[in-house]
């Protein structure tokens, strides 16, 4: 609400929320709510600090796997192509975080329809990044290979 009412305070709001999120305290529900609040700042143009904060959460060994999945799925629910090259690079870097890949690892090994649905936004996003941003194609292909997904971009 502060960010909407006081646009000049957007970066400060992001800093406060990010600092609280980095502490990874207060229970999973609170952590997920903080992630949602940080992601909402993307729509207001606070991109680099938000991506940095989300990357830290996604890579933290202290983060619960469900929180890491929440970061990725909520982020992908609010962004859409075409991605600017710097954003595409930061998004791919976030998705390539070992902790995040590990959080989705069990789902990728399952043959269930639910697991397939859960991973689909990630797979589509990484394929898009690889296809639309040639400098990132190798990283996208590596992610798909590491996760056991066929690269159909060729």
pLDDT in tens, 123-152: 999 999 999 999 999 999 998 888 777 666
Task: Specify whether the CB–CB gap between 79 and 95 falls below 8 A.
Answer: no
**Is 80 exposed, middle or buried (CB count within 10 Å of its CB: 0-12, 13-18, 19+)?**
exposed
Encode pLDDT of 96-112 as tens digits.
988 888 888 754 555 56
**Alpha-carbon distance 94 to 54, whole Å?**
8
Q: Quote the pTM value.
A: 0.84
Neighbours of 153 (CB within 10 A): 15
């Amino acid at each position: 609400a502060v960010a909407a009412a006081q646009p000049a305070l957007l970066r400060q709001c992001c800093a406060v929320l990010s600092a609280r999120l980095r502490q990874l305290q207060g229970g999973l529900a609170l952590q997920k709510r903080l992630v949602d609040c940080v992601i909402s700042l993307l729509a207001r143009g606070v991109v680099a600090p938000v991506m940095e904060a989300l990357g830290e959460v996604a890579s933290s060994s202290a983060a619960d796997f469900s929180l890491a999945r929440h970061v990725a799925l909520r982020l992908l629910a609010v962004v859409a192509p075409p991605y600017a090259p710097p954003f595409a690079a930061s998004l791919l870097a976030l998705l390539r975080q070992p902790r995040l890949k590990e959080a989705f690892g069990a789902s990728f090994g399952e043959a269930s329809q639910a697991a397939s649905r859960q991973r689909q936004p990630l797979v589509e996003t990484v394929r898009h990044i690889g296809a639309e941003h040639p400098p990132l194609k190798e990283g996208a292909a590596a992610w798909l290979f590491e996760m056991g997904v066929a690269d159909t971009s060729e």
